[in-house]
Structure 1
Amino acid sequence: MANFFTAPSVTAIRGRLLTFTKTPAGLGDRDSYRYLDDGLLLIRDGRIAAVGPADEVMPRLPPDTTVEHYPDGLILPGFIDTHIHFPQTQVIASYGAQLLDWLEKYTFVAEQKYADAGLAEINARFFFDELLRNGTTTAMIYGSVHPQSVEAIFAESARRGTAMIAGKAMMDRNAPVALRDTANSSYRDSKALIERWHGKSRQRYAVTPRFAITSSEAQLQAAGSLLNDYPDVYLQTHLSENLAEIAEVRRLFPGSRSYTDVYDRFGLLGPRSLFGHCLHLNEGEIQRLSESGSVAAFCPTSNLFIGSGLFDWAKLADPRRPVRLSLATDVGGGTSYSLLRTMGEAYKVLQLQCQSLPALTAFHQATRGNAEALGMEGEIGSLEVGRTADLTILDVKATPAMRHRHEACNGDLEEELFILMTMGDDRAVRATYIQGKCQHQRVEQTS
């Protein structure tokens, strides 16, 4: 791959443009988005310099500007994944275990390999290729306990020009010896990574205690100290995923009122804190997450695959004490890198609870909504002047079955989006752009 910074300073991309301007109120909320059937993005130095109908923007293009045209392509902001595990690329599709056994049998075995910096670098290239192939341009990523795993993530991200959030897992107990650090070493290693990478080349750091079971009180206190010392970093961990997990947390922290209270005691809740799963919360926990502005990450394919439970979107989004929400793949417990497939599974999870997930809501969440959850809405998540030109271009006719279904669509945008989230996957991603440069182009199949 050519070095990212050889990209031309001015480019233009033409096609059908879709961007959200606010959270959809539900099915048919046309005021929540802007759609142009023939739109044009002018991109200068990696950012959107102009956006509008093609016939209005074309005359304003600098001479000799190359226009990359996708006549049938649906151009959206790049997808954003708020919970994914880099060391679990070869754990995905591991058979037949619930959470705690799954960690012991598969995850901890795989993560020990990331002590090898060379392997981490090789797998980082695969990991980023897979994200981009699925239209994901930003992700919040768990590394292994080894600092070199996070070095590999950030180095590969900087090379490609992507905006990523990542952190070294902190685990000082209840894990194999080869995966344990200490409260002091986890603080020291995280601090070094923050100072080396946070805020550099679009990279951001997340303090990452894996979950309460694998961190002592001293280590959770160290995590809180990092948040105090570096108030603009993130916090990512797991919360209330599995009933056996919750029981073990209760045993390990008998003085805490709840699983959420364990984290709260050490100052880990807040607007930059993302908690994966949040399936079995009591009312007091939901209230506290809401008050603190914390984010609950919905990971539907993982919750189904590991058998953990069903995410109650309506309960968490209750306007009387709403919790901020995001959507995520959770690879490798999750079964797909594709946020299209993740949206489809989210729809099914909510259907089982007599709730609904309109396509507008799903696509908003995967773009602008997830950007808001990360506090990055001023940089990514929408097609607005000044935003970074991280884009995904979708093809609703990507497969014969999708093309056949689309024939009955009658030009209805919401129906088209629903086809994409129900039947789509990586094959529906025609191209992915980072800062206005194409970094993935679908290989067309010849018949």
Structure 2
Amino acid sequence: MPENTSNWYEATRVSAPSRARLNFDLDVDVCVVGAGLAGLTVAREVAERGWSVAVLESRRVAGAASGRNTGFVLPGFSEDVSDTIERVGLDATKQLWALSGRGVDYVRRTIAETAMPGVDPVPGWLSVSKIDTPDVQRAEVERLRWIGADVEFWPTERVRERLPNPRYFNALHYRDAFHIHPLNYALGLAALAEKAGARIFEDTPALSIDAAGVRKRIVTPAARLRASKVVLAGNVNIGPLMPRLAATLLPLTTFVLVTEPIANLAEVIRYRGAVSDGERADNHYRIVGAANSSDQRLQWSGRLRTWEAEPQRFTRALIGDIRRNYPALGEITAASVWRGTLGRTVHHMPQIGELEPGLWLASGFGGHGLNTTAMAGELIARGMIDNDETWRLFAPYELVWAGGRIGRALIQSVYWGAGPVNAARAAWSRSAERRRVRRATSKPADQGTA
């Protein structure tokens, strides 16, 4: 995908050095392919354990999904908890959820302990329902608490107090989640990896890998590299190097808009945490900019596609989504719009583990990348160096072909088909609420004339 650098993250990024290409042969203990969040976490953890590590990046650090996502740091995975329990059992589900929470804690701890600049963490995540089914949400809270989640139920009144939107009903509030500036976090992570001794080479694609034998051989345009261990952390961009691995991922593109400053933003949207109000890609939003400043903006994302499209084509649609939900904000002007493409597996779980002796994989983080990349980085570093086998909890989630063009078309049709159904259910909930209000307000008058 051609790189689109015209986005708010780029405009507000911290200063970072440009890194040279690899133009000399090199021997290391570990070679990491991909300088996104997973690859950078592996590099940092390996280097801090005293092993030599080189990171090969075909473009620049965090140039793909790692530096252009929504910035939500959430516990859990893309797979529904009920499906996880059905596949691996309750005990393993609890262990997996705990690992996902460790990923959240890793990001939080790294930011705090290193005073990472420009990351600006803000606590909380609300997952809002547009359908009035409080019993369903309460049951979900109990199921999530059962496996160890820190989550609470918010009734409609509390939701609308903070988010005055008549389309909203009940919500699940995740107190341990938070949101950040993801590009600045990735750049900070790269600096920490280099401080620990890792070497990062930009504009250096891995052209081929010979994984046979004790020393693996990696060929780049201007040099060759040898390593005892190789970690593939290129996600959807791994295609030219490993097409069979890339074929196990569905590339899903969403579009992100950041508005110009909105004067009454904090008055209308009175929740500073992250918000999601849809099951799929629509809508995810948050307030960005310093609290109590005149530069507060709304970041809004959605409009999933399984193919590439120019972000500017979705500006009007995203602004329309904002106006439909918060008309009190008044005139909305876009400051920047961009796209980000994530890789999602068929089973909705990340691919983490050793493919063959010395060849490791970290990919398929689809939608929960900030916590699961951190988790994967730690698991793989411990697996390689300490012989820790916790990563085997992901063994039931095998590499599965994602269906190619047919798979992408199917996902797109499901997404489009679900829209009208969800809209109809939401409209019915609003209509039922209006009928309840009318009955409640008319009842005293009826009683008075009886």
TM-score (normalizing by structure 2): 0.26
**Greater RCO, 1 or 2 (C-alpha within 8 Å, sep 6+):** 2
Which is greater in Rg? 2
TM-score (normalizing by structure 1):
0.26
